[in-house]
Amino acid sequence: MQFLVTGGAGFIGSHVAERLLRLGHGVTVFDDLNPFYDPAIKRANLAAITLTGGHRFRFVAGDLVNRAALDDVCREGKFDQVIHLAARAGVRPSLAEPALYQRVNVEGTVNLLEAARAAGCRKFTLASSSSVYGVNAKVPFSEADPIFSAISPYAASKLASEALGHVYHHLYGLDVAMLRFFTVYGPRQRPDLAIHKFASLITAGQPIPVFGDGSTRRDYTYVDDIVEGVLACTDRTLGYEVFNLGESQTVRLDELIAHLEAALGKSAVIDRQPAQPGDVPLTFADISKARAKLGYNPRTQIAEGVPRFIEWFRAR
């Protein structure tokens, strides 16, 4: 099959693209290589994908807000499926640039949905986020929970993307899977995310910023498990479905730091800071639906995943 992977030069997208290529599919990556973090990192990811895919891989530089560019790539590619992972990411940065997040994540998503529909593509897999749950009193978080209390522009943009996916399923019969990712980590993780950022600072002997008292908990999910969930969606006809993809276990921030210290063999210097607006105190995925309908079965727990990440981090 022919796949379009938006954001395929990034962290999760590059892993998805490589896995598809290893399975024998054709892959086109569409990415704007924006400077949210160093574009050289994304170019290195593309180089690795090229080695894997050879002539079955193509890279197209482009912006989601450019509808004409999306029309061109979808018309030329004749894609069987689209995996939409491109977005402006991060809760805290979205507070500073809310209009940018809505433009790229919402307008960009509807541009892509419309371009794919016009080109005859029938299946869509879109990345959402655990942030849509907001400050959810009920744990673990279930896809059936009400999600109308977003507390950041980023979360609001992902809620809107989920709604758009439903619209295109309802009106045009597009097969749509919405995937709510829970704090993904592993090789190629973005340098602004906590595990990568903390590893860099601890290695350099610099303080790591800890917002709050260290009691916040996250459902950290290893990237290989996320990729398995994404690929499971591509193998099934789903109609319109929303799935949590997490580890379904929570880890306190201070416990995460202890895992990093053990893997690095070096103690962290803690810089205590106030809790940040838009951050949630807890994320915790109920993955029973993904287990039942996708065969999703995350295997890598934090005690194994952090040392794997540090092995890549040191080799890099």
Q: What is the pLDDT of residue 59?
A: 98
DSSP 116: H
Residue 277 has pLDDT above 90, yes or no: no
- Measured from the Cβ of residue 316, the count of other Cβ atoms closer than 10 Å reads 9
> What's the whole-number average pLDDT of the chain?
95
The mean per-residue pLDDT over the stretch 6-10 comes to 98
pLDDT band with cut points at 50, 70 and 90 for residue 137: confident
The mean per-residue pLDDT over the stretch 81-86 comes to 98
Contact 199, 260 (CB under 8 A): yes
pLDDT band with cut points at 50, 70 and 90 for residue 46: very high
Q: What is the pLDDT of residues 184-205, one digit of tens each?
A: 999 999 999 999 999 999 999 9
Fold designation for 2-315: Rossmann fold (3.40.50)
Percent of the chain surpassing pLDDT 90: 90
The mean per-residue pLDDT over the stretch 264-272 comes to 95
Contact 214, 251 (CB under 8 A): no
Tell me the DSSP string of 136-183: -SSSSB-TTS------SHHHHHHHHHHHHHHHHHHHH--EEEEEEE--
Contact 216, 281 (CB under 8 A): yes
Q: What is the pLDDT of residues 215-226, one digit of tens each?
A: 899 999 999 999
85/12 Cα distance (integer angstroms): 8
Q: Which two tokens stand for residue 274?
A: 């106030």
Q: Which two tokens stand for residue 295?
A: 């065969």
Going from N- to C-terminal start, the domains of the chain cover: 2-315
Q: What is the pLDDT of residues 102-119, one digit of tens each?
A: 999 999 999 999 999 999
Q: At what angle do helices 253-264 and 194-203 cross, to 10 degrees?
A: 50
Does 140 sit behind a cis peptide bond, omega within 30 degrees of 0 on the bond before it?
A: yes
pLDDT band with cut points at 50, 70 and 90 for residue 292: very high
Catalytic residues: 154
How many CA atoms lie within 13 Å of 284's alpha carbon, on the beta-carbon side?
Answer: 14
Q: Which two tokens stand for residue 87?
A: 């977005």
Q: Return the closest-CA partner of residue 60 out of 112, 9, 124, 126.
A: 9
Kind plus residue range of the DSSP H or E element containing 96: helix 91-96
